[in-house]
Amino acid sequence: MGIIAVQYLEDSQNISPEDARKKLHTAFDTLPISKVIVGWNLAHGLVEACAEECARFDAELYRWQPLLTSDAVFVPKPEWLTIGLDREPVIHWGEPAFTFACPNHPDVRDRITARLQEIIEQEIYHGVFLDRIRFPSPMAAPMQELSCFCAHCRRVAQTQDLDLVAMERSISRLFHSPEQVFELVRLLLGGRPTGAHDETIGDLDAFLRFRIHSINGLVEAASAIIRDSSLAVGLDCFSPSLAHAVGQNIPALMPHADWTKIMSYGHTLGIAGLPYELSGLAAWMIGYLGLSEARVYRFLSDLTGLFLPSTTTELCETGIPSAGLAHEAAVAPTDNLYAGIELVDLDRFTVLNDAQITSDMRAFKSSGVAGLLLSWDLWHIPQHRLDLVRKIWVDG
Ligand SMILES: [Zn+2]
């Protein structure tokens, strides 16, 4: 049996410390939980109640901390936001939780450093779980939302002998030909170019590597601050087949952390969920290239290895097959890799049933991942789902 960790109290309104403690206590009674990751905008009494309960059950308390999006104290200023290919700030749904600051902006880096120091000084956590360590997902609108092309990125690129302005011009040209759009998607999802050497594709490749370098530098710096205080570091990463598209190279990020969770949410129709991100990309390709659904899904399925169905309707109803999720878990050495699994029924947001959860847990287990991270969050996970985790992950 691997480790079990839980995300808890992302949204804390109207929960008393006593109720929070009770729910956590019942979860501890059901499962051998060794890490509890609590959210960022919580009343001190709530965090204290969780810390006491963790101490009683010998579990570690982690702070769940978004780095590049708002945590209600760190609120990105408009001039800090990432700039897309259309020269506009990338703003997802007008939602602060998904509106990203640029990792290359010096004020952002300073503010993150100060924020981490404040958290460390509270002396209540064993570790910090770093979330939102990425660029915004460009999947549904790459012509607008592929980022970042801000002045700070330009400047940092220059120090690496990269000309971001020339790259931007090249990348914009890729949208003129259907063949090159396929190449663009291939590279975005971490594939290698298939055609003959082409300068525009080379520029895209260099740009995507620049983004990975930027995120890696951000995480390395954040991790150093946390580890300097002898706290542990956990990372929240995109699902591996999509990670490249948001500037994450998971095997390169893992050394900066004690453990890394992959958000391989196969049944979530919201940001970072595989069906949501992939159906967004498919819809864009179908509309922009005038291709059939079947053609686009075949391409995406071959590219990702996720065994995708051939329509958006089916993808959203049945999600990613368990074999696809096992494929995601094979991305990196599994020693310190945790699989995230969604266990909360949210109307129009998750499509779950016990048979699928059982099958997904078995797939993750046989892939050899070190742990399972129950998402999100424990407060909303019904008891029968915790019992199911016990039956399959612990006793199975
Ligand atoms: Zn930037």
Q: Tens digit of pLDDT for each residue in 212-262?
A: 999 999 999 999 999 999 999 999 999 999 999 999 999 999 999 999 999
Predicted confidence (pLDDT) per residue in 253-262, tens digit: 999 999 999 9
**Average confidence (pLDDT) over 31-56:** 96
Position 12 scores a pLDDT of 65
| Sign, Cα dihedral of 102, 273, 363, 6 | positive
Number of domains in the chain: 1
CA distance 387 to 377: 16
CA of 392 to the centre of ligand 1 (A): 44
Pure H helices in 74-198: 106-121, 142-145, 151-159, 164-174, 178-188
What is the average per-residue pLDDT within 117-129? 97
Domain extent, residue 350, equals: 3-394
For 81, phi then psi, to 5°, come to: -70, 155
CA of 155 to the centre of ligand 1 (A): 9
Distance, CA of 389 to CA of 387 (rounded, Å):
5
Q: Determine the pLDDT at residue 97.
A: 74
- Residue 88 CA: distances (Å) to CA of 80, 144, 207, 224, 370: 12, 8, 18, 33, 41
Section 321-341 average pLDDT:
92
We report the CATH number of the domain holding residue 382 as 3.20.20.80
Give the 3-state secondary structure of residue 244: helix
Provide the pLDDT confidence category of residue 331 given band limits of 50, 70 and 90. Answer: confident
> Ligand 1 centre from 209 Cα, in Å?
14
Q: In sequence order, which residues have a C-beta less than 8 Å from that of residue 140 and are 6 or more positions away?
A: 277, 280, 281, 283, 284
Cα(156) to ligand 1 centroid in Å equals 9
The CA 26 to ligand 1 mean position distance, Å, reads 45
152 CA from centroid of ligand 1 (Å): 5
Cα(72)–Cα(390) distance, rounded to whole angstroms?
Answer: 35
Q: Cα separation of 178 and 186, whole Å?
A: 12
Calculate how far, in angstroms, residue 287's C-alpha sits from the geometric centre of ligand 1.
Answer: 29
Residue 196 — pLDDT band, cuts 50, 70, 90? low
Task: For residue 362, count CB atoms less than 10 angstroms from its CB and return exposed for 0-12, middle for 13-18, buried for 19 or more.
Answer: middle
Q: How far is the CA of 271 from the centre of ligand 1 (A)?
A: 21
Mean pLDDT, the chain, integer: 95
d(CA 18, CA 86): 49
Which whole-number Å values give the CA distances from 301 to 142, 261, 308, 309, in the listed order? Answer: 19, 23, 5, 8
User: How many angstroms separate the alpha carbon of residue 332 from the centre of ligand 1?
Assistant: 28
For the chain, what is the radius of gyration of the CA atoms? 21
In angstroms, what is the span from residue 374 Cα to ligand 1's centroid?
33
State in Å: Cα 325 to ligand 1 middle: 32
